[in-house]
Structure 1
Amino acid sequence: MADQTYDYDVLVIGSGPGGYVAAIRAAQLGLKTACAESRETLGGTCLNIGCIPSKALLHASEYYEEAASGTLAKFGVKIGKTELDLGQMMAEKTKAVDELTGGIEYLFKKNKVTWLKGRASFENAHKIKVGDETVTAKSVVIATGSSVMPLPNVEVDNDAGIVVDSTGALALPKVPEHLVLIGGGVIGLELGSVWRRLGAKVTCVEFLDQILPGMDGDVRKEAAKLFKKQGIEFKTGTKVTGVTVKGKKASVTVEPAKGGNAEIIEADAVLVCIGRKPNTDGLKLEAAGLNTTDRGMIEVDDRFETKVDDVYAIGDVTPGLMLAHRAEDEGIAVAENIAGQTGIVNHAIIPSVVYTHPEIAGVGLTEEDAKKAGHEVAIGKFPFMGNSRAKTNRDTDGFVKIVADKDTDRVLGVHIISTLAGTMIAQAATAMEFGSTSEDIAYTCHAHPTHAEAMKEAAMAVRGKPIHI
């Protein structure tokens, strides 16, 4: 039994994917649980202004482009003039957000999780002020997530709708004639894809020599090629030195990252998307005996416990991939640890997905990282051009790439570009979780005709024996 001198057995600070899952799981395990959240709705960045609304717009914009481009005609589907109703598209996005955030509120009530409304800050390790109320908890879980990283000397004003961050880019009042993305990572490419499909000219400025930092080299090259084909212009190896706004226009000053002559890019909208930073401001961590790293993160052990007993942290406020599903898994694990069980997350096998068209997904080591780690690798690649389902769908861009250890055949990483990459990567993650070899995947029967057969063929290609290329 928990110490009854506390108001709660567990208090979770933050109701994003990590926080709300931790709260629900703790309550399921019989712990009296509360969750502090300052927003008017639950779900954190992901459900309110991140993963969910962006995917709603990505999906809707794909429909619009299919209808407007005339590509449906070759399948015998003829339609008349296509018109964009941006207001209705935004309304449908909002409806999806409302349904999902309301769903979490329902789950809180179902599982008897108390929602403490207000911003939380520590008074000591077990005493937390939430709004005007002060409560105590035996165990505290910090799950406050992350927010957009500002670009020095560039002022974001989402209300004005000209220089915006990812939140503002989800609610632009009209389709810009020219949208400039500052940053060639996941967020910029996803939101840039939305507005390009709806009619905007899109220019992406990336400081590094390639887009999608951290992803497999072959994937990065293929993605750049496909996005250029779609009409996105890239200025890689380029830094932004200033953004000025005059009236309804913005001027973006750029120059080569390694030095050179500056140029000015005129735009109707500028999206600043250079990364995210952990949300620890205002928590008064020092009152709990905590501090942060140079990057503002909270260090934890393999049980997600900080250096202070019974104070835990999960998700984006801790070192690691800033991904909602990583935080969810950690939310379950930390609740189980607090309840006396054993909660473990295998951080080596966390998939990443870019929800562009085609999608891009990866799990495990890239070819480059595998070599740096000392592996002699064997590579298997299979193009969707050789996949029967992709051919019949006339959607053959991309490939599956499997990175395996040459000696043991153990799969070290899988990387996919395909319309269904985000769904397909789950098979790879499952296989790797169970220590699969490429031979295991190659000799597993895959249904025909499916995109998943490309995974089987890539596994066969590791040993040089694919059938359909």
Structure 2
Amino acid sequence: MSTHYDAIIIGSGQAGGPLAQAYAKAGRRTALIESSHVGGTCVNEGCTPTKTMVASARIAHLTCRAQSYGVQFKKSSLIMNMETVRKRKRDIVDSFRGGGENRLKSTQGLDLIMGKAKFTGPKSIEVAINGSNEVRTLTADEIFLNTGCSPAKLDTKNADAVTGLLNSTTVMELGEVPRHIVVVGGGYVGVEFAQMLKRFGARVSIVQRSDRLLPREDPDVSEAVKQILLDGGLDVYTSAQVTDVGNVTLGQIVMSLKLSDGSIKSLLCSHVLAAAGRVPNTKDLGLEAAGIEVDKHGFVKIDEHLQTTNPNVYALGDVKGGPQFTHVSYDDMRIVRHNQLTYANSGEKASIQNRLVPYTVFMDPQLGRVGLSETEARSQFPGRKLKVAKMPMAYVARALETDETKGFMKAVVDADTKEILGFACLGIEGGEIMSMVQLAMMGGMTYDELESGIFAHPCLSESLNNLWGFLE
């Protein structure tokens, strides 16, 4: 026997939960299936816990700098209580998760089912209920995938046998500061964790396969990020490939690196953090039974309306590939909600094409970016006359007053139309400054209109009066 629903959502991430509520409130009988915990990666293993710990690391950093602000302590040594850091992180996660779970359970017409889902046909699913031998069969007119991604394993010799190998989830459960941790991967996740752990008191080495950190950014941004980390006492190895890793003794790991000149370097450490990418949670979903195709990496193939190769199934969030950000997942939900509930089969359908996607890397100082980088703009518009403005944060009054002058702001504009094509801010509250420029871009403002705005002195936003004087 099977139970029929109007809609089934698999995964309760930042798209799945709100979409399930929207369907239920629209009078559709809805099932939300979650295999582990409500809230998805963001609440449980991503944004919420990591930014909580980043905040603790920043307080530690500022404490070490206190004397330069005229604040002195009788005892000079910094002691990190990782149990307190971990408890604070857990408490906030529990609060967020519990609130989300309560909202779902109280939504009329919505069934929250804890278990593992697997397709048995184009519109049918089996759910193995957690903690029991029960298996339920469900069918639905529409099915939505929001199963997300998981940390990729360290792809190197002997990695599976190493004790002390961590990923972005397990590293946050350490009860003490690592003696020396090697972070494999110099992308957004690796950079955030590396700086955080260094500020907690660990010795930290970053190993990056490509020739620079954050390789999706402009070279000058990547170089500035690297210099900030070097100045903070981290060791950075770029163009370095991990060739072998293994335990020497209990609590001792040796890692072999092949450097760009062909030489081999060995690192002796206590822990290794694998932070080189994430893989989609599609392997055990039985997608082939539903006629749902994936690419060579396992990401679900979709069209501009998030529809899969099965016309009754849609994919939202990280599982479909592309930028892996919580706000992208939530916007996917808005698109599907609009197309399937608001307009149904009439009106203009929303699309993921040409979305203006911002993001912030929560290192310190933050890197906020929206639109095109200089590299992307020159590649996409070879015949367009472009100008670039780059201003050091040391020219920003508020940054000077707070002694937070690292980094710079950078904008790319069309010289003829004055359209803002992209913006990056590597600096104090870079994500918030970026968001102001994003609003200007969304509203179609030209850079000279932004330049002429009156911003309160001495706020960081005031820098948007001065940036455009550096256009070249």
**Both structures adopt the same fold (TM-score exceeding 0.5):** yes
DSSP 3-state at the match of 1:309: coil
| One-letter amino acid of the counterpart of residue 122, structure 2 | A
Give CA deviations for 1:99-121 in whole Å, capped at 9, x if unaligned.
11111112213433321110111
Contact residue 183 and residue 206 of structure 2 kept, 8 A: yes
1:134-153 paired onto structure 2 within 5 Å: 134-153=137-156
- Which of residues 46, 52, 57 in structure 2 aligns to 1:56? 52
Determine the C-alpha separation between the residues in 1 that align with 2:98 and 2:341.
27
1:217-296 paired onto structure 2 within 5 Å: 217-246=219-248, 247-257=250-260, 260-296=262-298
1:79 and 2:73 correspond: yes
Contact residue 86 and residue 175 of structure 2 kept, 8 A: no
Determine the C-alpha separation between the residues in 1 that align with 2:26 and 2:469.
44
| One-letter amino acid of the counterpart of residue 247, structure 2 | V
Contact residue 293 and residue 308 of structure 2 kept, 8 A: no
The change in CA–CA distance for 1:347 and 1:280 in structure 2 (over 3 A counts) is: farther
Q: How far does residue 182 in structure 1 lie from its aligned partner after superposition?
A: 0.7
Name the counterpart of 1:349: 356
Q: How far does residue 14 in structure 1 lie from its aligned partner after superposition?
A: 0.6
Name the counterpart of 1:371: 378
Contact residue 252 and residue 265 of structure 1 kept, 8 A: yes
Determine the C-alpha separation between the residues in 1 that align with 2:319 and 2:354.
15
- Which of residues 66, 72, 84 in structure 2 aligns to 1:88? 84
Name the counterpart of 1:32: 29
Determine the C-alpha separation between the residues in 1 that align with 2:47 and 2:34.
18
The change in CA–CA distance for 1:64 and 1:155 in structure 2 (over 3 A counts) is: farther
The change in CA–CA distance for 1:136 and 1:90 in structure 2 (over 3 A counts) is: same
Q: How far does residue 202 in structure 1 lie from its aligned partner after superposition?
A: 0.9
Q: How far does residue 180 in structure 1 lie from its aligned partner after superposition?
A: 0.8
Determine the C-alpha separation between the residues in 1 that align with 2:449 and 2:102.
42
Name the counterpart of 1:335: 337
RMSD, aligned CA: 2.0
Q: How far does residue 380 in structure 1 lie from its aligned partner after superposition?
A: 1.2
Q: Structure 1 length as normaliser, TM-score?
A: 0.92
Determine the C-alpha separation between the residues in 2 that align with 1:108 and 1:459.
47
Determine the C-alpha separation between the residues in 2 that align with 1:295 and 1:376.
37
Contact residue 456 and residue 462 of structure 2 kept, 8 A: yes
- Which of residues 354, 360, 377 in structure 1 aligns to 2:367? 360
Contact residue 293 and residue 309 of structure 2 kept, 8 A: no
Determine the C-alpha separation between the residues in 2 that align with 1:38 and 1:260.
45
Contact residue 122 and residue 284 of structure 1 kept, 8 A: yes
Q: How far does residue 83 in structure 1 lie from its aligned partner after superposition?
A: 2.5
The change in CA–CA distance for 1:156 and 1:43 in structure 2 (over 3 A counts) is: farther
Contact residue 205 and residue 235 of structure 1 kept, 8 A: yes
The change in CA–CA distance for 1:346 and 1:186 in structure 2 (over 3 A counts) is: same
| One-letter amino acid of the counterpart of residue 252, structure 2 | K
Contact residue 438 and residue 460 of structure 1 kept, 8 A: no
Q: How far does residue 154 in structure 1 lie from its aligned partner after superposition?
A: 5.0
Determine the C-alpha separation between the residues in 2 that align with 1:368 and 1:157.
38
Name the counterpart of 1:21: 18
DSSP 3-state at the match of 2:150: strand
Q: How far does residue 34 in structure 1 lie from its aligned partner after superposition?
A: 1.9
1:317-332 paired onto structure 2 within 5 Å: 317-332=319-334
Q: How far does residue 345 in structure 1 lie from its aligned partner after superposition?
A: 4.1
Give CA deviations for 1:137-191 in whole Å, capped at 9, x if unaligned.
1111111111112232356679x86111111211223212211111111111111
The change in CA–CA distance for 1:30 and 1:423 in structure 2 (over 3 A counts) is: farther
Name the counterpart of 1:190: 192
DSSP 3-state at the match of 1:287: helix
The change in CA–CA distance for 1:93 and 1:215 in structure 2 (over 3 A counts) is: same
Name the counterpart of 1:467: none
1:42 and 2:51 correspond: no
What are the ranges of 5 or more consecutive residues in structure 1 without an aligned counterpart? 465-469
Q: How far does residue 461 in structure 1 lie from its aligned partner after superposition?
A: 3.2
Q: Structure 2 length as normaliser, TM-score?
A: 0.91
Contact residue 154 and residue 242 of structure 1 kept, 8 A: yes
Determine the C-alpha separation between the residues in 1 that align with 2:71 and 2:451.
38
Give CA deviations for 1:241-274 in whole Å, capped at 9, x if unaligned.
11111311111100124x6121211111111111
Name the counterpart of 1:388: 397
How many residue pairs were aligned? 454
What are the ranges of 5 or more consecutive residues in structure 2 without an aligned counterpart? 129-134, 344-348
DSSP 3-state at the match of 2:243: strand
Give CA deviations for 1:353-377 in whole Å, capped at 9, x if unaligned.
1101111111111101110112432
The change in CA–CA distance for 1:379 and 1:286 in structure 2 (over 3 A counts) is: same
1:93-242 paired onto structure 2 within 5 Å: 93-112=89-108, 113-131=110-128, 132-154=135-157, 162-242=164-244
Question: How many percent identity over aligned positions?
Answer: 29
Name the counterpart of 2:307: 305
